[in-house]
Structure 1
């Protein structure tokens, strides 16, 4: 898995593709991303600057209201109509309405009321002085008692129920009122007594001022489609006059500014220029503190533009730029890939040719036949060199074949010599073995048969001497005869087993039934010692093509292995049947035991040399290998099946 990424990193094709596509798919997107990011930031700064200038206009308009009201009240106080009026209350009523004031009264500096409109007004706090020229313009916050002293209707109009941010749940009621008032000197010539004229406008619920500010700042067609602007005047953090609306189009009077805005503007006296949550929407907002005559921050003035249309406009712009980029990439990338392909295709063919060479294909060629660039020339030169290399290889192979022919001839001669040496060695070993076994057999026959003859002769002498007296011991004497005969038979079978087949005997013949019978005396002592019983089921009638001694060696080896596989005792069964194999007549010998079986991990290799199931202290692992060699040499076969219930060997030998 790690090789593929390494090939990718070092592949000329991918590196050329990267070089071709890097400007369009990497550099240009990064450049566009940075440009769009900077454009977005600049766009946001422009919007912030816009609302900042709008806030300045709103502040100036509010200040203009103060100055205009002061100038008009001063003109009234300096007019001849005021100087010679006999009905001051009626005159104040007329001018209060004409000037758009909520109250207008004339009082002495000590607070004595001279005339008031609305009539019956008795302000609790009368400004004590006024400038000799001009007007003193103030923003004040009057409590409910002060408003009621001027006019009960004014106090009622100032009341606004505070609601939460959703505009649904009534909370406490704000009874204070924010007013703009102007104080001018108003001395009548007929009395000569100093007096002041005070006029004011209640800003609570004064929607005309807010709408006028909104119309002045945000003229029609100055905002994109879907965008709208809002203006609000706050007493503390509560809207007392606004064009912000809640559900149903009702003005959001009594709603409050967010805590972060309140802390920044009223708490710290700073101007807020950033996005802010206004009820359920986000606005690009500007807030500025409003101060009273004592320089205390008593409220805020706000202007803002709905952010959503600008966000959508930016999104449309970004999508348009992305679409334009994709269109450019769609047009230019195939051109770049075509140019890159003219370079890396010959290189790929060269690499493929070298790969085929690495696999031994000397006929590999790049197939490049035309082109004027350096890489194409390199590919054609490589084909020329490969053709020369193939010719040299063909010559070398011819020389190699001739050399192999000579080596093969020498090898055949050497194999023949080795075979002749093996035959001679085998004949020599067998001769020496036969000589040794002959001497041993002679010694055994002399050393065992002579004592047996003496015993048999003496036993016969005893029968003659004792005559009828031997009848009580006739059974014991008969058993002695049988055991002497058995010893003689064992010695004879042992001598037969020691003999070997002659190498020149190419057509041996053996009766399997007789071979089994002759093997039993040789293993009887092992069967008795291991508590193993041997059962016969011999029904074959044919003789088989194998030497008698060789078949006895196979059977004895299998019986001995079976005894070792049954350490707690058991049963061995030997059966023989006439059976044909592939149309050839023969005999099938089956030998089974009830032992522990052959381990599965070595079952498939049990006939290999030096493979044994008895462990390190068991047999040599050569017995079954020799058995298979003896049987297969005569055209037979031997197979085995084994499990936890025991092992089953099956031998098939062709008929002699």
Structure 2
């Protein structure tokens, strides 16, 4: 009876464990799923609005182009016919919805005169200028300012100025003769036609709960002068103000807004773009918005469906886990006892293969087979392990021996070659000198390649240990590295200019940091332009890092080839004729990252810049 209680207790604990895992996974799945749904729905809305604002700009610019076309038409050969004929001008204004056409004789603005094509812009026209053009325009431009929820708290007054699309061009009347300036403009204040046209093109006639799914607005500064956004009483929200957050970003900072925003009385997924005049001053805003509510409804429906799906899945998993816990509990004690016997080196133990559960039968057969083969397997594993250890030891010993022997031999050969080259062992003729120069270059390359492969071996075996000390980067590293490649640079008439001043202290491993700088200078010389320059400089990169820049005159590396720079055994196209191992920058990057730093590349017009971010000396 006591054993039965223990079995039931174990079964319950096992079932509760399954249940806990199922619940946790369900919560995680729902949380992640909800986030994924929200992110995708909101992302889709933002992408649609981004496309919508581009379409709105296309239509807006088309309106401006139409005005420019009319200005071009009236300033050309038709100037004589139209300039003094008010009837014809009235027909033009009526046909093309133009609000004013003004021929001003006299001196022409230089910027207008030097360009035969009309210049168009959106600008603010003062109330005085509007009244001079037409009393009707001044009346149309007047907009009563209205208090708006969440708008910026600034003093506001009724709007009397006008936002206009205007084209300006010089004209010459051959009949008079007379020259002057032609201005053609369209007032945007209360101009619902443009707004509705853009809205119909973008949103067609889509509705959500009897409300248009999209809105379009033109602002003069922060005041709506033309819009299809409606107030609670169903009127166009002309005279209302932009929200404070949008005002600060678009009007104050002059940047675009792509986010949700509160528009009069609803939340929208919006795009606000500043409208600028010909001088670059912000005169207004073009706005496109999609009602947020439909997207939220889609999100909520998808969340609900996900919740129901996960709930049903959880219930099913609970039932399955309960059945599994019963099955496992039945044979668990038998299997546990057999395992204990195996642990005590009793390899004759066997378990029943008739459990009624296929998986447990397979497990029992496997367990029995394991017990029978355990001694043999153990013996084979030990033998194989001994052989592997011996082979690995032999390999490491061979690599160490060959590396040291080869490095020593190379050093001796290089020293002797340079002794012959410099004439220390007797004079040599020009032909011999050229041959020895060729051998010296090959040996330099070979020596550098051996060093790189030795460094790569240390990295691959995980033996790259950092022993940081306080270093003067210029004195301890850069000047030594320059000495290594001074001769190669002189052969290509490359000037090395070290602008890194003494006294810049870093915390780094001296030997490893020298490897990095050697690789960068080696590449700068190998791939640098003949008769060019290598410029080394430094700058402070914050509280913790210094930035060191290695620049060389060379062919700029295109952005699409940057990924190849720091890969192992990678060579850029077009460099095959220049000898290299293809691992120098890979090694440099590994070392810098071991120092908690960063190495980057930037192509400039005349060459390439490699930058190192290295930690400052610890105080």
* Structure of higher RCO (CA pairs closer than 8 Å, 6+ residues apart): 2
TM-score (norm 1): 0.47
